[in-house]
Every structure is written in C-alpha cells, then in structure tokens.
Structure 1
Amino acid sequence: MPTIVTLSILTISLNVVLSAKILGLFPPPVNSHRNLYVPLVQELVQRGHDVTVVSPYEEKTDSKNGSLRSIVLTGFVEWMRDGMKNMRTFEQTDTNVFQKLQTSIAFLEKMTEMTLEHKEVQKLIHSKETFDVVIITEVLNHALKALAPHFKAPLVSFSTVGACSLSNLLVGNPSPPSYVPDIFSDYSSQMTFLERLTNSFTHLYTQVCFNWYVYPKHSKLMKKYIPGEYDFDQVIHNISIVLLNSHPSINQPVPLVPNMIEIGGFHIKPPKQLPQDLQEYLDNAPNGVIYFSMGSNLKSAELPLEKRDAFLKTFAKLKQKVIWKWEEDVLPGKPDNVKLGKWLPQSSILAHPNIRLFITHGGLLSTTETVYHGVPVLAIPIFGDQKQNAQIAVNLGFGLSLSFEDVNEEALTRTIVELLNNPKYKEIAKARSKYFHDRVRKPMETAIYWIEYVIRHRGAAHLRVAGIDLPWYQYILLDIVAVLVLGILLTCCIVAFVCKKLCCRNSQRVKIKAQ
C-alpha cells in the first residue's frame, strides 16, 4: 500500500514539473493552417500543458489534463473573406515568382500589424505574464518573434511547409540553388540550366528583399507595438528549433541544420468510421472509387464552366465511381456515378481500400495524406506551393500533373486512364507510404518531444550553427568572391602591364638594330 501511495505522489509531482505555460501565435485565417496547429495544440493540452492560443478562431478542448485559453483575432476571417472575393483564385496560375513574393510580403506584413494592434493581443502584451515557450507560425511575421523575449521565453518556429527561404535565412540553413528550388517558384529539384539560372537569381533577390525591405519593415512594427528595447537582428535569429511540416517520403531531401526538425504528417490521425452513406458507397464499388477535392481554400463550385464540363464528361465515361467535394446543393449535369459532398472526411476516405485515385489541387496537406495512405494522385495545381508539390509527385513517380490551362475532356481522360491502368503509380505510392510510416517515433511524438526539450533546457542555443552570426554577404561568400575577382583583375593588369613594357622594350631594340 505505501508503495502505491508513493508512486501516486511521484506521478503527481512529475505532472506538475512537466506542466508548462505555452503561448501559440497562429494568425493566418486559413483553414489549412488551422488543420495543422489545432492537433498540435490539442496534444500539448493532453500532455498536461496550459496553452494560450492566439488565432482567428475560437479553440476548445475536451481534455482535463491541461488547459486551453483562446484569444480570438476577431475580424481576421472576414478580412480574408473580403480579400478572396476580389481575387479570382482559378486565374492565379500564371503569376510569376516575383509577383508571388511581393503579394505575400504585402499580405503578411498587413496581417502581422493587424495581429499586434489587436486589442486582445495588446492586452496580453501588457499583462506582465510570462511563458515557458512561445510557438509562432513561420509566415514572414518577424515582428511577432519579439514576443518571445518580451514574455521571457524561448522561441519555437512552426513552419507549415518544409525548409525554405522563409526559415532558412533565420537559422543559417544552406539551400544551394542548384537543386533546392525557391518556395515561390514552380521548380522541383531536377532543374534545367535556365531554371537553375532563374532559381539562383530568385535566391539572391529573396535575400536582398528580406534584408533591405522585409526586416526593416518588421523592425518598425516591433518597436511600434511591443514595449521594451530589443535588437531585431537577435530577435529573428534567436529561434530554438524550427518544426517543419515535411518528410523525405513527401518532399525532396534537403540539407537541415540541427535545430530544424521534420514532423511532416503529424496532423494525420488514424481513420475514423465513415458516415453510413459514404461507407456503403465505397464498399459497393467493384471497379473502385476516384476521390476529387480542390482543398479547403479553392472551391470546385467556382470552376469555370468549360473546366467543370470537362470533368463531368470525363467522369461520365468512367466505370469507377467518383466522390466530388462540391460546395453547393446541386451540380447540373451530374452523372449517376458521381456522389457530391460539401464537406468530406478526406483522410478516412483515402484510407478505404477501394480508393483508386485522388484528384487534387496539390496542396501540401492533401499530398501528405495521399502519401500516408498510399494512393496515386492527379495534381491540378493553381497557386502557392501547389505546382512545386505536383512536380515532386511526378518526379517521385506516385502521380501525374496536369496544368489548369490544359484541363479538357481529352487530357483528363488520357491522364486518368493512365493512372488507373498503369500499376506502377499504385506500387510507388505504396512504397512512399512505407517510407512515411517507417520512423523512429511518430511525427506528433517528435513534435512534442522537441517542444518539451526547449522547455526543459530554456532554449536550444547549443543547436545553433555559426552561419547565423555572419552577415548575409559573408554567408554567401560575396566578400571572398569580391577579393578573388579583384585579385584576378589585378593579376591581369600586372601581366598586361609587364607584357606592354616587354613589347615596348623589344620594339625599341628592333628600332636600334634597324638604324
């Protein structure tokens, strides 16, 4: 009996020691971002931590182990909705890398200021609270990083994508432009000479843009809204760890410094029981089922009429059934083999053994889920990182890509038939799925371990690489290149001068002999 009491006391004491105050800042009013941070927050609460979440949504928990306080960024969802009304999403396919970068910078700078000036955030800033760790979504919102030293806490960066220019520059992570494409580009690791040239220029342009425009802007925001004297350069480079939503089974392998941790697929939970109508529809499909969804931000109902008709005519010719995420009550001309749904449990559908193909926009979450379940994919990318994800799927061999401009009945039919009838896509998708699941520990376990690691050690300065402390021109060896170029030019000048002198001397000798 005393042993049981002792163990109980030790267990309670351990829980008290491990319980921490955590602040999570997740400002983007985008469902795909919410689908990532909510599982992480819920797991932290389940582990007994007290979590404060600053986001555009009211977050709740059923867990009794820890606590969850939600600070809602009111007005953000409406702001995003109004902006999307003026933006024809299916017409964004032809924007170039520089347009994407400039649009993102302007949008995220505005969102950062809206976050900092929000009355509830200002109330929190002036509350004199402290936290054991601050977790911030990494989306060019650098001014928010000053909240970590303000609350006397180490900083964890939460990246919804893999290693890219958004985080590489902050932790000194190498990203050779010869095979690491910029996140705003449409390239994969297998680039042509022209693509490598463009990618190199993009890398340089991004560094210049960040250092001489983005960072100064956010430094001003930091000073305007966060009391105290902070060195902005130290603030943005004082990241303990970066949690990356990536994994080599989904993304191309790239260099990672020690404090960049891959947790791709951490948000995926084991499949749940499907609603009865979907379960019966999938079970009674002797030829299999195709699942079609354009994600949470794009709406199939907004497809141009000619594109929608191309899908309808193509699906009508197939012997497979189709489940289509359609946001309206009616789809004119819907074939009998198509089932509609305004909201669909995507991961649980993909887990069904009768799913033969996933037609998607190529978003990272959808790509991750199709690899998780080992389902071949047809990617029809529109904007953002979708084209890059689609190209990776093609290069790795578990899918094909079709540009939105090329979507017509003939191209759709040809591509879908190839994916359905050629077994290599299914075989490769299953192999990628095995790579995904074969890890030392589950990705959510990895995420929690490293967050608690930072809490235990009050940061992780020992994981920082020396490159962080170098000026950007030294990091990319511009000073060395300049010295080498000057040295070569000086050598050439000396050689030219000596040659000229020798020529003049020889010329004089010839004249003397001639006389």
Structure 2
Amino acid sequence: MNGHVIQLVLIAFIIKSVVSLKLLIVFPAGARSHYNLGNALGKGLANLGHEVTLVAPFSEPNPPKNFKEIVFEDVLKKYIDADKSLNLFDASHVSPFLYLFILNYFSSLMMEGFFKANETQDLLRSNETYDVVIVEQFLSDSLHALAEHFNAKLVVFSTVGSNTWTNNLVANPSPLSYVPDIFLGFSSDMTLLQRAYNLLFSIVAQLNLHFIAYPKQADLVRKYIPNAPDFTKIHYNVSLILLNSHESISQPVPYVPNMISIGGYHVNPPKQLPKDLQEFMDESKEGVIYFSMGSNLKPSQLPNRTKEIILKVLGSRKERVLWKWDEDQLKDQPRNVKISKWFPQQGILAHPNCKLFISHGGFLSTIETVTMGVPILALPVFGDQRLNAARAVALGFGNSLSFVTLSEEEFSSKLEELISNPKYRENVKLRSELIRDRPMKPIELADYWIRYVVKYNGAPHLRVAGINLPFYQYWLLDVIAVYLGGFILMMYLLKTLYRYMSKSNKQGKLSKKKKQ
C-alpha cells in the first residue's frame, strides 16, 4: 500500500514538473484596480502549479507557493504622492480626443519609469528564463520586448476586453457601425450621429497610435533593450490575448482565434463578512444600498453641490447605506449611512439584503455586481466607465447618471426605479446565470490556453493573415488611393475632353460663319 502511495506521489510530481511553466507577469500601472487583476491572475496560475513572478507597484500580503514578486517601491511612492493632489473627477470634463493625447504623455512617463527602475534593470540583467511573458496591454506596447528578451511566448492581457489597443495586435475586426470605442459612452445601438462620431474618433485614434504612440514605444525599446529586433516584429508577435470580458456583460463582438475571454476570473466565492458588517446587513430589513467609487476616485473630492444632493437623497431612503468613504469622517452624515475606507465588496454584493450598487461604472465592479446579481446605478467619470454604464442600461440591469449634471429629483427617481421595479433584478439575475454558466472556471481556461501556446510553439496557426499586412493594406488605404486616383484621373480626362469638344465646336461655328 505504501509503495502505491509513493508511486502516485512520484507520478504527480513528474506530471507537475512536465506541465508547470515559468511565467513572468508584468502589470506596471500604478492603479490598485489594475494590480488587483494582475495579482488575481498570478495567484490563480500559481495555484494551478505554475512558477509565477509578478512585476507590479504593489505587493500581495498572503502570496501562495510558487509566487514571487518584484515590487517597484519608487513607482509606488510616486503614485501615492500624485494620488494626494490629483482630483480624477476633473477628468469628466476632458474631451475624448484630448484624452488620447493625455494618455500618450502618461504612457511615455509610465514606461520610462518602468524601464529606468533598478528592479527592471536587475531583471533584464539576470539570467532568469521564462516560458511565457504576460503583459498588461495598457499604454505599454514596449513591454512586448520582454518576451523577446527572455525568449518566451508573448501573452497580452486586456483589462477591459477587446479594444483598439488589442485589436491592432492580432488584426481583430471591429465594425464601427456597432462597436463603439471604449472612450465613448455609446451602446452598440448607435444613432447616425453617434456612428459618425465613432468613425471620426476611431480614425484619429488609429492615426495617433501608428504615428505617435507606437514610435514612442519603439524609441523606449531601442533605448533600454538595444539588442532587441525591430519593434514591428516584437510588437505583433502575440501568441494569445486574454480578455477581461464576457458576453454576459460586454456586447458580443468578433474575436480572432487567439483572443480568449476570461472575465470574472478575479471573483471568488464570498467569504464570511466581519461581525459588525454581517450584523449590519442582517438587521437591514428594508435592504442595503452599497456605494463605492472604486479604488482611484476619492468621494471626498466630489463637488460640494453633488455631495449635498447625494447625502440628502440617501438620508431620505428607508434602506441603510454602506458608503466607501476615503476620510475618517463624513460631514452631515445621515443616520442610515455607515462609512468606511474599505469594504469587502464581493461579500457585501453577495448578501441577499443588498438591493443596489451605486458605482463609478468600473469594469471590475460591473463584473462583480453582475456575478452577484445586484442592479447598478452608474455615475461614470472617465475612461471606459461611460461605455460600461451604457451597456448596463442597454442590457437592462442598471441605469446611469452624470454626476456633473446630477439633480436631487433625478437621483431620487433613478434610485426608486432601480429598487422598486423588479425587471432590473430579473435582468441582472439572468446575466449572473450567464456569466456563471461556463464549461470551466475562467482561470482554468486561461491556464489551458497559456499551456496551449507553449505546447504549439506560439500557436502561429491561430493568427489571421491580416496581422502580416502593413497598416495601409489592412485598412485598404492603397485600394482607396487607387480608386480615388482613378476617379480624379477620369474627371480630369472628362474635363479635358469637354474643353477639347467645346473648343472644336467653337472653331466649327467660326468656320461656318466665315463661309457664309
């Protein structure tokens, strides 16, 4: 019997040795929400037997086995210092066109800081080897060079599903007639004006990427990894894209074969709430409204007028309220409102007494509230939040308000509608079933495809032919130029012929007059 046990242990060890991979996961953004996704991905893959190294500005207090961290202390300090003075609510007034160029600046700053960091330089000079490099695709195309540097397969991770940044890498089609850009708060059912705006914005976004953003990223690669091949070669050498999305929340859109949706992988079975919160939730017979603006926005920085409206309306509700507040005290705090700098969000949303989630419309929060089956009232501010809010409205599991034009009557009526009308709860329950009804856990799906691209040497058979076409050919600019040139030439010839015939007619008439 003991011999059989030893044999099984040896077999398990051999299998693990064969299938375990060395993974380098890089999430350089100084935003806690981005880190949470990278950390959940790293921990999930480590728990499935891989040897994981996570590079990020934050750290995990309880890392699993096979999980190593490289933490950027200087980057984190700069992020904290900037966070003290930055009011992200001001971003709500920024034009999407201007936002593109602000992101260019932010991208260069972030990537320059990443490559300059001592931790990065030590990593680049190390003799470490990796099977796969997973990088977050967020203004960070120069990170693709890490896969080439470590002779590893490149896997890209998108925090917000498919978008312009990811589609370009694998030639994924994105029809502008029903796929709005992530920075525009449109649903898939766009009006004529919205489609025209979407087309114009997408053209500007593509021009910005190809003629401003990508060249800057190429400069960074040449500066910090001088032996790297041509940027175009490493930039598009993507074996797999993991998308933090799912059709239960995001609209169904085209995906090429090497794009895989794993949205919801970061959501865990809810744990027991702390005693005080458990009692608060249990004793709230009229239900609880949970209010959180995420990890980056500070509710204390809301305009005073907006704060007063929110406090007055929430204070008049029969439900009790949990408000994630970034300060120790809340002036004029209503009796039915409990504040805290942190709440176990997934556990609160999972409680049967949670009636509504008031949120900024962040994608992680949207995934969590849909998974737990709680309607949402979104107050979007910037980035993809308007798009997420528009989808919640279109799919019938939430509503949206602009905090800039927020009025007491509108806020009050939207709250009442979402809580009293059962259709919102029914719609979100359906979406909850859809996101849970999958053949395997999303982290296991990610694990399968990561192993797959290693097994098949990058899985080139999954890549569509469009990735080999230069920019102008993919967008048929050469064909358009030929047609346009032909049209101009035809018009020129017709004009020349018309002039020639007009001149001939005039000469004929003159000769007839002379004969007469």
| TM-score, scaled to structure 2 | 0.95
Residue 217 (structure 2) aligns with: 218
The alignment covers a number of residue pairs equal to 513
Residue 43 (structure 1) aligns with: 44
Q: Is the 8 A contact 1:90 1:382 kept in 2?
A: yes
Residue 467 (structure 1) aligns with: 466
1:163-312 to 2 correspondence within 5 Å? 163-312=162-311
Residue 381 (structure 2) aligns with: 382
1:91-106 to 2 correspondence within 5 Å? 91-106=90-105
Give how far 1:201 is off. 1.8
Mean Cα deviation higher: 156-165 or 185-194: 185-194
Q: Is the 8 A contact 1:153 1:458 kept in 2?
A: no
Aligned partners of 1:74 and 1:255: how far apart in 2? 40
Residue 143 (structure 1) aligns with: 142
1:120-135 to 2 correspondence within 5 Å? 120-135=119-134
Deviation sequence 1:87-107 (CA, Å, 0-9, x none): 322222110112211111111
Residue 406 (structure 2) aligns with: 407
1:18 partnered with 2:39: no
Mean Cα deviation higher: 490-499 or 76-85: 490-499
What amino acid does structure 2 have at the position aligned with 1:481?
Answer: I
Q: Is the 8 A contact 2:183 2:386 kept in 1?
A: no
Q: Is the 8 A contact 1:473 1:479 kept in 2?
A: yes
Aligned partners of 2:500 and 2:98: how far apart in 1? 54
Aligned partners of 1:316 and 1:87: how far apart in 2? 29
Deviation sequence 1:454-480 (CA, Å, 0-9, x none): 232331221111111111111111111
1:430 partnered with 2:453: no
Q: Is the 8 A contact 2:52 2:68 kept in 1?
A: yes
What amino acid does structure 2 have at the position aligned with 1:120?
Answer: E
Q: Is the 8 A contact 1:42 1:61 kept in 2?
A: no
Mean Cα deviation higher: 403-412 or 189-198: 189-198
Q: Determine helix, strand or coil for the equivalent of 1:267.
A: coil
Q: Is the 8 A contact 1:183 1:385 kept in 2?
A: yes
Q: What stretches of structure 1 of length at least 5 have no aligned partner?
A: none
What amino acid does structure 2 have at the position aligned with 1:309?
Answer: E
Deviation sequence 1:205-225 (CA, Å, 0-9, x none): 122211122122121211111
Residue 69 (structure 2) aligns with: 70
Mean Cα deviation higher: 86-95 or 130-139: 86-95
Residue 343 (structure 1) aligns with: 342
What amino acid does structure 2 have at the position aligned with 1:24?
Answer: I
Give how far 1:361 is off. 0.6
Give how far 1:7 is off. 3.4
Q: What stretches of structure 2 of length at least 5 have no aligned partner?
A: none
Cα 1:40–1:307 change in 2 (3 A) is same
What amino acid does structure 2 have at the position aligned with 1:402?
Answer: L
Q: Determine helix, strand or coil for the equivalent of 1:201.
A: helix
Q: Is the 8 A contact 2:55 2:71 kept in 1?
A: yes
Q: Is the 8 A contact 1:21 1:133 kept in 2?
A: yes
Aligned partners of 2:287 and 2:228: how far apart in 1? 62
What amino acid does structure 1 have at the position aligned with 2:139?
Answer: L
What amino acid does structure 1 have at the position aligned with 2:146?
Answer: L
Aligned partners of 1:7 and 1:420: how far apart in 2? 55
Give how far 1:424 is off. 1.4
Q: Is the 8 A contact 1:116 1:144 kept in 2?
A: no
Q: Determine helix, strand or coil for the equivalent of 2:92.
A: coil
Deviation sequence 1:438-463 (CA, Å, 0-9, x none): 22222121112112222323312211
Aligned partners of 2:459 and 2:251: how far apart in 1? 27
What amino acid does structure 2 have at the position aligned with 1:41?
Answer: G
Give how far 1:9 is off. 2.6
| TM-score, scaled to structure 1 | 0.95
Aligned partners of 1:202 and 1:130: how far apart in 2? 41
Runs of 4+ in 1 over 6 A off after TM superposition: none
Give how far 1:186 is off. 2.7
Aligned partners of 2:350 and 2:48: how far apart in 1? 28
1:384-399 to 2 correspondence within 5 Å? 384-399=383-398
Q: Determine helix, strand or coil for the equivalent of 1:239.
A: coil
Give how far 1:311 is off. 1.4
Mean Cα deviation higher: 359-368 or 324-333: 324-333
Identical-residue share of aligned pairs (%): 47
Residue 56 (structure 1) aligns with: 57
Q: Is the 8 A contact 1:22 1:52 kept in 2?
A: yes
Aligned partners of 1:58 and 1:324: how far apart in 2? 26
Deviation sequence 1:413-436 (CA, Å, 0-9, x none): 111111112221111111111221
Aligned partners of 2:249 and 2:263: how far apart in 1? 8
